[in-house]
Structure 1
Amino acid sequence: MESSAYGASLAGGAFDFWSFIKQPQTIARLFSWLFSVVVFATILSEGYINESTKQDTKCMFNGSDGACSYGIAIGIIAFLACVVFIILDALFHQISNAKERKYIVSVDLVFSALWTFLWFVCFCVLASKWTKTVQIGVPADAARAVVAFSFFSTFSWGLLTVFAFRRYRQGLAEVGLGYNDPVSDHTSPYPSAYAGAPEGYQQSPFAPASAGESAYQPPAY
């Protein structure tokens, strides 16, 4: 039944911190959280350089401020999302409402798939801009770290998408375990009225009265 789907019937029990930390999904979230911090913190701290002949700062990725802004935005949102989803994962076993569980799993699946794509776009954009960078004084190690951890983030969020999809399919399977009406066979003939009668049973020998005769006959004195 849907009321017990997505593990709602198994809700409750004490929270085991170490078991929660050892879960593959939790490990993937922690790595995704760490990778996002490296990306946006590195860009904020070392991503903008100031040339000696100019007063304005430029992005270290070929002077493209849009590339740096994109990396910062994706990283900060991913950082906050990881924190929110880790909290929801920790509280998930205490939620007994199947609709709330389904909503959390669905949001997790959609967000993880979207951020996998956005991180891949971020990696492609930053890698392309870095190959065209000719500026002097660019922190090469910082730029390579941002590109590398953008790729790592694509991989970690891809794993989170797989985990969320498995949990979503498991919930759908639990919904399918509910009661289903038996399929009737319309091609078979209707059974006889005496099909279920005990062996040796015969139809009553008393014929029904005709329409023109009265069923009651007065006694003769």
Structure 2
Amino acid sequence: MRLPSSLQDLANSEVVRFLRRPKSITRILSGVFSLIIFSSLLTDGYQNTTNSSQLHCVFNSNHMACSFTVIAGTLAFLTSMGFLALDAHEAWIVSPQLKMVFRLLDIILAALWAVTWFLGFCFLVNQWHHSSPKELLVGSGSAKAAITFTFFSIFAWIFQAYLAFQDLRSDIPVPYKRSLDESGIMLTSLSPLSTSSSVNLATSGPSSLTYSSSVLSPSVTAPKGPRLAMMPDS
């Protein structure tokens, strides 16, 4: 099945190619997971029980659990979208030092978010284990969704840190690369005549040196012709 020319041009555009990169897909997934986490608790995270009209957090009535999840999800979403925007303008970063700082910051933040979501997952599971979902009206589904996507976020941020580490390794300059390149240029710039002469000098012996010296000074080795003497008249 062949796509129309307009759709094929769209598929080959820079935007689509940028969004199809593994790093871009990982950042988008991390942002979507964070959006689901904090939006589910913002909508149904605080519910009243069947016996009371007072609002309580769905996680064992622990307001710290809901506040942590909402704040962490919002910050993680902003982090993912911010780094996605920086990736789109990465070509503008010309300085190698600034690019290395960007890679290191990406690795550090991704590792921190992976640890944060791991601790948050353990904390939410513990609080949900001690809560009573039967007393909630509609907050049970939101709590399960937050726990599920918190677990998915751990692996998304770990993979994001791995991709950032791979980019950092590819950007590290080789210390001796310039010297090796310069040596290669110097070797290739030698003419064949000078190369062959150096080889001949290295493999030649004393006889060849004598021969070359004789060639350079023909006046010394040139044979002298017979001299004509004038005889006196008798």
* TM-score in terms of structure 1 length: 0.71
Letter of the 2:144 counterpart: R
Aligned residue for 2:4? none
Distance 1:69 1:130, change over 3 A: same
Q: Is the 8 A contact 2:50 2:136 kept in 1?
A: no
Aligned residue for 2:107? 109
Aligned residue for 1:47? 45
Aligned pair 1:156/2:132, yes or no?
A: no
Aligned residue for 1:37? 35
Distance 1:177 1:46, change over 3 A: farther
Distance 1:87 1:177, change over 3 A: farther
Could you tell me how far 1:176 is from its partner in structure 2? 3.6
Alpha-carbon distance in structure 1 between the residues aligned to 2:147 and 2:49: 22
Could you tell me how far 1:129 is from its partner in structure 2? 0.8
Paired residue secondary structure (2:47): strand
Could you tell me how far 1:199 is from its partner in structure 2? 4.8
Higher relative contact order (CA 8 A, sep 6+): 1
Could you tell me how far 1:53 is from its partner in structure 2? 5.3
Alpha-carbon distance in structure 2 between the residues aligned to 1:71 and 1:170: 35
Alpha-carbon distance in structure 1 between the residues aligned to 2:174 and 2:73: 36
Q: Which runs of 5+ in 2 are unaligned?
A: 1-12, 181-201, 210-234
Paired residue secondary structure (2:177): coil
Paired residue secondary structure (2:89): helix
Alpha-carbon distance in structure 2 between the residues aligned to 1:26 and 1:48: 33
Aligned pair 1:147/2:161, yes or no?
A: no
What aligned pairs does 1:1-221 form with structure 2 within 5 A after superposition? 16-51=14-49, 54=52, 56-134=54-132, 136-138=135-137, 139-172=139-172, 174-179=173-178, 199-200=205-206
Alpha-carbon distance in structure 2 between the residues aligned to 1:76 and 1:26: 19
Larger radius of gyration: 2
Aligned residue for 1:184? none
Alpha-carbon displacement from aligned partner over 1:113-163 (angstroms, at most 9, x marks no partner):
000000111111111111111251252211111100000111111110110
Distance 1:44 1:104, change over 3 A: same
* TM-score in terms of structure 2 length: 0.68
Letter of the 1:142 counterpart: S
Alpha-carbon displacement from aligned partner over 1:170-201 (angstroms, at most 9, x marks no partner):
222x34453469xxxxxxxxxxxxxx9x8537
Alpha-carbon distance in structure 2 between the residues aligned to 1:29 and 1:98: 23
Letter of the 2:83 counterpart: F
Q: Which runs of 5+ in 1 are unaligned?
A: 1-14, 182-195, 202-221
Alpha-carbon distance in structure 2 between the residues aligned to 1:177 and 1:74: 44
Which structure features the higher share of helix residues? 2
Could you tell me how far 1:56 is from its partner in structure 2? 4.1
Paired residue secondary structure (1:58): strand
Distance 1:176 1:74, change over 3 A: farther
